[in-house]
Amino acid sequence: AKVGGRSQIRFFDPSMTRDLTHRRKIETELRLALSRDELSVYFQPIVDLETGRIRCFEALVRWFHPTKGEIPPDQFIPIAEECGAIATLGNWLTGEAARTAAKWPDDIRLAVNLSPTQIKAPGAALGILRAIRDAGLAPERLELEITENLFLEDSPDIALFIADLSRAGVRFALDDFGIGYSSLGYINQWPFSKIKVDRSFVSGAQAGRKSDAIIRAVSQMGQTLGIEIVAEGLETIEQVEAVQSAGCTLGQGYHFSRAVPAYQAALLLAEDRAT
Protein backbone atom coordinates (compact mmCIF):
# COMPACT_ATOMS: atom_id res chain seq x y z
CA ALA A 1 0.00 0.00 0.00
CA LYS A 2 1.17 3.48 -0.76
CA VAL A 3 1.85 5.59 2.27
CA GLY A 4 0.41 8.98 1.55
CA GLY A 5 0.22 12.00 3.82
CA ARG A 6 3.40 13.26 5.33
CA SER A 7 1.64 13.83 8.64
CA GLN A 8 1.35 10.06 9.07
CA ILE A 9 5.05 9.68 9.60
CA ARG A 10 5.23 10.20 13.33
CA PHE A 11 8.51 8.37 13.77
CA PHE A 12 10.25 11.02 11.71
CA ASP A 13 8.47 14.03 13.16
CA PRO A 14 10.96 16.90 12.70
CA SER A 15 10.36 18.08 16.27
CA MET A 16 11.93 14.83 17.39
CA THR A 17 15.11 15.36 15.44
CA ARG A 18 16.51 17.35 18.33
CA ASP A 19 16.24 14.21 20.42
CA LEU A 20 19.65 12.60 20.18
CA THR A 21 18.59 8.98 20.53
CA HIS A 22 15.93 9.47 17.92
CA ARG A 23 18.43 11.03 15.57
CA ARG A 24 20.86 8.16 16.13
CA LYS A 25 18.08 5.79 15.18
CA ILE A 26 17.50 7.56 11.88
CA GLU A 27 21.24 7.71 11.27
CA THR A 28 21.55 3.96 11.73
CA GLU A 29 18.48 3.30 9.61
CA LEU A 30 19.74 5.62 6.91
CA ARG A 31 23.11 3.92 6.70
CA LEU A 32 21.31 0.58 6.46
CA ALA A 33 18.87 1.95 3.91
CA LEU A 34 21.62 2.28 1.31
CA SER A 35 22.75 -1.30 1.69
CA ARG A 36 19.17 -2.56 1.87
CA ASP A 37 18.18 -0.86 -1.35
CA GLU A 38 15.50 1.26 0.31
CA LEU A 39 16.58 4.46 -1.42
CA SER A 40 15.76 5.29 -5.00
CA VAL A 41 16.12 8.23 -7.33
CA TYR A 42 13.06 9.81 -8.86
CA PHE A 43 13.05 12.33 -11.68
CA GLN A 44 10.88 15.40 -12.16
CA PRO A 45 10.81 17.10 -15.57
CA ILE A 46 11.68 20.76 -16.10
CA VAL A 47 9.75 21.95 -19.10
CA ASP A 48 10.19 24.65 -21.73
CA LEU A 49 7.04 26.71 -21.20
CA GLU A 50 6.94 27.88 -24.82
CA THR A 51 7.17 24.48 -26.53
CA GLY A 52 6.03 22.23 -23.68
CA ARG A 53 9.08 20.03 -24.20
CA ILE A 54 11.19 18.48 -21.48
CA ARG A 55 14.59 20.11 -21.16
CA CYS A 56 15.90 18.59 -17.97
CA PHE A 57 15.05 16.26 -15.09
CA GLU A 58 15.74 17.02 -11.44
CA ALA A 59 16.87 13.99 -9.44
CA LEU A 60 15.06 13.70 -6.11
CA VAL A 61 15.85 11.03 -3.55
CA ARG A 62 13.09 8.77 -2.21
CA TRP A 63 13.22 6.57 0.87
CA PHE A 64 10.77 3.69 1.06
CA HIS A 65 11.14 2.29 4.53
CA PRO A 66 9.88 -1.33 4.85
CA THR A 67 7.68 -0.62 7.87
CA LYS A 68 7.45 3.16 8.12
CA GLY A 69 6.56 3.76 4.49
CA GLU A 70 7.79 6.69 2.47
CA ILE A 71 9.93 9.13 4.41
CA PRO A 72 10.15 12.58 2.79
CA PRO A 73 13.64 13.96 2.03
CA ASP A 74 12.95 17.10 4.06
CA GLN A 75 12.96 14.85 7.12
CA PHE A 76 16.13 12.84 6.56
CA ILE A 77 18.40 15.03 4.41
CA PRO A 78 19.06 17.44 7.33
CA ILE A 79 20.00 14.49 9.55
CA ALA A 80 22.17 12.98 6.83
CA GLU A 81 23.91 16.35 6.59
CA GLU A 82 24.58 16.49 10.30
CA CYS A 83 25.83 12.95 10.72
CA GLY A 84 27.97 12.95 7.60
CA ALA A 85 25.95 10.31 5.76
CA ILE A 86 25.16 12.91 3.09
CA ALA A 87 28.50 12.27 1.38
CA THR A 88 27.71 8.59 0.90
CA LEU A 89 24.14 9.34 -0.05
CA GLY A 90 25.12 12.10 -2.45
CA ASN A 91 27.77 10.05 -4.21
CA TRP A 92 25.40 7.16 -4.58
CA LEU A 93 22.62 9.38 -5.89
CA THR A 94 24.83 11.20 -8.39
CA GLY A 95 26.09 7.92 -9.85
CA GLU A 96 22.67 6.35 -9.94
CA ALA A 97 21.02 9.41 -11.53
CA ALA A 98 23.85 9.85 -14.03
CA ARG A 99 23.56 6.21 -15.18
CA THR A 100 19.90 6.85 -15.91
CA ALA A 101 20.52 10.21 -17.58
CA ALA A 102 23.26 8.76 -19.81
CA LYS A 103 20.50 6.85 -21.65
CA TRP A 104 18.46 9.99 -22.43
CA PRO A 105 18.88 12.05 -25.62
CA ASP A 106 22.00 14.25 -25.48
CA ASP A 107 20.10 17.51 -25.16
CA ILE A 108 18.33 16.47 -21.95
CA ARG A 109 20.13 17.62 -18.81
CA LEU A 110 20.27 16.14 -15.34
CA ALA A 111 19.91 18.37 -12.28
CA VAL A 112 21.20 17.15 -8.92
CA ASN A 113 20.76 18.84 -5.52
CA LEU A 114 23.89 19.43 -3.51
CA SER A 115 24.07 19.97 0.23
CA PRO A 116 26.57 22.51 1.56
CA THR A 117 28.29 19.87 3.72
CA GLN A 118 28.74 17.64 0.69
CA ILE A 119 30.67 20.37 -1.07
CA LYS A 120 33.02 20.92 1.83
CA ALA A 121 34.15 17.29 1.89
CA PRO A 122 37.70 16.96 0.53
CA GLY A 123 37.79 15.80 -3.08
CA ALA A 124 34.10 16.60 -3.58
CA ALA A 125 34.50 18.04 -7.07
CA LEU A 126 36.64 15.13 -8.23
CA GLY A 127 34.16 12.67 -6.74
CA ILE A 128 31.32 14.14 -8.77
CA LEU A 129 33.34 14.21 -11.99
CA ARG A 130 34.43 10.62 -11.47
CA ALA A 131 30.87 9.49 -10.75
CA ILE A 132 29.48 10.99 -13.97
CA ARG A 133 32.43 9.84 -16.04
CA ASP A 134 31.94 6.27 -14.84
CA ALA A 135 28.26 6.59 -15.69
CA GLY A 136 29.01 7.89 -19.18
CA LEU A 137 27.37 11.29 -18.68
CA ALA A 138 29.14 14.32 -20.19
CA PRO A 139 29.82 17.08 -17.63
CA GLU A 140 27.98 19.58 -19.86
CA ARG A 141 24.78 17.64 -19.18
CA LEU A 142 25.04 17.94 -15.41
CA GLU A 143 23.56 20.84 -13.49
CA LEU A 144 24.14 21.19 -9.76
CA GLU A 145 21.41 22.88 -7.74
CA ILE A 146 22.70 24.80 -4.76
CA THR A 147 21.02 27.17 -2.34
CA GLU A 148 22.39 30.45 -1.10
CA ASN A 149 22.94 28.88 2.37
CA LEU A 150 26.13 27.64 0.83
CA PHE A 151 27.54 31.14 0.64
CA LEU A 152 26.73 32.20 4.18
CA GLU A 153 30.21 31.27 5.23
CA ASP A 154 32.68 32.60 2.75
CA SER A 155 34.78 29.47 2.39
CA PRO A 156 37.62 29.15 -0.12
CA ASP A 157 36.65 25.47 -0.57
CA ILE A 158 33.40 26.56 -2.16
CA ALA A 159 35.09 28.86 -4.63
CA LEU A 160 37.47 26.06 -5.62
CA PHE A 161 34.66 23.56 -5.90
CA ILE A 162 32.64 25.79 -8.21
CA ALA A 163 35.68 26.80 -10.26
CA ASP A 164 36.83 23.19 -10.75
CA LEU A 165 33.44 21.96 -11.86
CA SER A 166 32.66 24.97 -14.05
CA ARG A 167 35.95 24.49 -15.83
CA ALA A 168 34.95 20.89 -16.51
CA GLY A 169 31.69 22.11 -18.07
CA VAL A 170 29.26 21.44 -15.21
CA ARG A 171 26.53 24.07 -14.75
CA PHE A 172 25.09 25.57 -11.61
CA ALA A 173 21.55 26.52 -10.69
CA LEU A 174 20.59 28.74 -7.75
CA ASP A 175 17.77 26.87 -5.99
CA ASP A 176 14.91 28.17 -3.82
CA PHE A 177 15.57 31.73 -4.93
CA GLY A 178 13.62 34.38 -3.06
CA ILE A 179 13.10 32.81 0.35
CA GLY A 180 16.50 33.42 1.93
CA TYR A 181 18.82 36.37 1.87
CA SER A 182 18.71 36.41 -1.92
CA SER A 183 21.63 38.68 -2.24
CA LEU A 184 22.02 39.69 -5.84
CA GLY A 185 25.73 39.62 -5.09
CA TYR A 186 25.65 35.82 -5.34
CA ILE A 187 24.29 36.04 -8.85
CA ASN A 188 26.92 38.57 -9.70
CA GLN A 189 29.76 36.55 -8.21
CA TRP A 190 29.00 32.99 -9.30
CA PRO A 191 28.42 31.48 -12.74
CA PHE A 192 24.77 30.44 -12.51
CA SER A 193 23.09 29.30 -15.68
CA LYS A 194 19.69 28.99 -13.98
CA ILE A 195 17.76 30.54 -11.15
CA LYS A 196 14.92 28.54 -9.65
CA VAL A 197 12.30 30.81 -8.14
CA ASP A 198 10.86 29.21 -5.03
CA ARG A 199 7.41 27.80 -5.22
CA SER A 200 6.08 30.20 -2.59
CA PHE A 201 6.08 32.83 -5.35
CA VAL A 202 3.78 30.85 -7.62
CA SER A 203 1.57 28.63 -5.52
CA GLY A 204 -1.22 29.19 -3.06
CA ALA A 205 -3.62 31.97 -2.35
CA GLN A 206 -0.88 34.28 -1.15
CA ALA A 207 0.59 34.41 -4.62
CA GLY A 208 -0.82 37.46 -6.30
CA ARG A 209 0.18 40.64 -7.98
CA LYS A 210 3.25 41.03 -5.80
CA SER A 211 4.57 37.56 -6.65
CA ASP A 212 3.90 38.24 -10.32
CA ALA A 213 5.90 41.44 -10.12
CA ILE A 214 8.79 39.63 -8.45
CA ILE A 215 8.83 36.88 -11.07
CA ARG A 216 8.66 39.53 -13.77
CA ALA A 217 11.63 41.40 -12.30
CA VAL A 218 13.71 38.22 -11.85
CA SER A 219 12.86 37.11 -15.41
CA GLN A 220 13.92 40.46 -16.79
CA MET A 221 17.18 40.28 -14.90
CA GLY A 222 17.70 36.73 -16.16
CA GLN A 223 17.14 37.76 -19.74
CA THR A 224 19.66 40.56 -19.45
CA LEU A 225 22.26 38.34 -17.80
CA GLY A 226 21.64 35.28 -19.97
CA ILE A 227 20.41 33.23 -17.00
CA GLU A 228 17.34 31.04 -17.43
CA ILE A 229 14.57 31.39 -14.87
CA VAL A 230 12.65 28.34 -13.68
CA ALA A 231 9.33 28.67 -11.85
CA GLU A 232 8.97 25.87 -9.31
CA GLY A 233 5.78 24.30 -8.00
CA LEU A 234 3.48 24.93 -10.97
CA GLU A 235 0.34 22.96 -10.13
CA THR A 236 -2.31 24.57 -12.33
CA ILE A 237 -2.60 25.88 -15.86
CA GLU A 238 -3.42 29.30 -14.40
CA GLN A 239 -0.09 29.35 -12.60
CA VAL A 240 1.71 28.25 -15.77
CA GLU A 241 0.09 31.07 -17.73
CA ALA A 242 0.81 33.61 -15.01
CA VAL A 243 4.53 32.86 -14.79
CA GLN A 244 4.82 32.64 -18.55
CA SER A 245 3.26 36.03 -19.06
CA ALA A 246 5.63 37.32 -16.38
CA GLY A 247 8.50 36.28 -18.65
CA CYS A 248 9.52 32.91 -17.21
CA THR A 249 10.82 30.43 -19.78
CA LEU A 250 11.05 27.18 -17.81
CA GLY A 251 8.69 25.50 -15.37
CA GLN A 252 8.51 22.56 -13.01
CA GLY A 253 5.64 21.20 -10.98
CA TYR A 254 2.79 18.76 -10.60
CA HIS A 255 0.96 20.37 -13.53
CA PHE A 256 3.55 18.75 -15.78
CA SER A 257 4.53 15.74 -13.70
CA ARG A 258 5.49 14.65 -10.22
CA ALA A 259 8.90 13.09 -9.69
CA VAL A 260 8.71 9.62 -11.25
CA PRO A 261 10.95 6.53 -11.35
CA ALA A 262 13.51 6.17 -14.15
CA TYR A 263 11.37 3.98 -16.39
CA GLN A 264 8.53 6.52 -16.30
CA ALA A 265 10.92 9.37 -17.02
CA ALA A 266 11.96 7.46 -20.14
CA LEU A 267 8.30 7.12 -21.12
CA LEU A 268 7.73 10.86 -20.66
CA LEU A 269 10.69 11.52 -22.94
CA ALA A 270 9.46 9.08 -25.58
CA GLU A 271 6.03 10.74 -25.52
CA ASP A 272 7.66 14.13 -25.78
CA ARG A 273 9.67 13.13 -28.84
CA ALA A 274 6.71 11.52 -30.54
CA THR A 275 4.69 14.73 -30.71
The binding site for ligand C2E (CB under 6 A) comprises 44, 59-61, 72-74, 77, 93, 113-115, 145, 175-176, 233-235, 252-254, 259
| Pairing mode of beta strands 228-231, 142-146 | unpaired
Asked if 44 is part of the footprint of Ca ion (rule: CB under 5 A), the reply reads no
When CB distances to ligand C2E are compared, the closest residue is: 253
| Interaction between residue 113 and Ca ion (CB under 5 A) | yes
**148 near Ca ion (CB under 5 A):** no
Q: Which is nearer to Ca ion, 65 or 196 (CB)?
A: 196
Residue 89 in contact with residue 34, Cβ under 8 Å? yes
When CB distances are held under 5 to 8 angstroms depending on the partner's kind, the choice from ligand C2E, Ca ion, none that residue 259 binds is ligand C2E
How many Å apart are CA 85 and CA 103, to the nearest integer? 28
CB of residue 180 to ligand C2E, shortest distance in Å: 12
85 binds, among Ca ion, ligand C2E, none (CB under 5 to 8 A by kind): none
Cβ contacts of 229 within 8 Å, gap of 6 or more: 194, 195, 197, 215, 218, 219, 222, 247, 248, 249, 250
Q: Is the dihedral of CA 109, 157, 184, 239 positive or negative?
A: positive
The window from 43-51, 175-183, 213-221, 249-257 that contacts Ca ion (CB under 5 A) reads 175-183
Q: Is 176 in the site for Ca ion (CB under 5 A)?
A: yes
Which bin fits 84, alpha (ψ -120 to 50), beta or left (φ > 0)?
left
Q: From the CB of 21, what's the least distance to Ca ion, in Å?
A: 28
Q: CB-wise, 223 or 236, nearer to ligand C2E?
A: 236
Q: Determine the distance from the C-alpha atom of residue 221 to the mean position of all C-alpha atoms in its chain, rounded to a whole number.
A: 22
What span, in angstroms and rounded, lies between the C-alpha atoms of 182 and 247? 20
* Site for Ca ion, rule CB under 5 A: 113, 145, 175-176
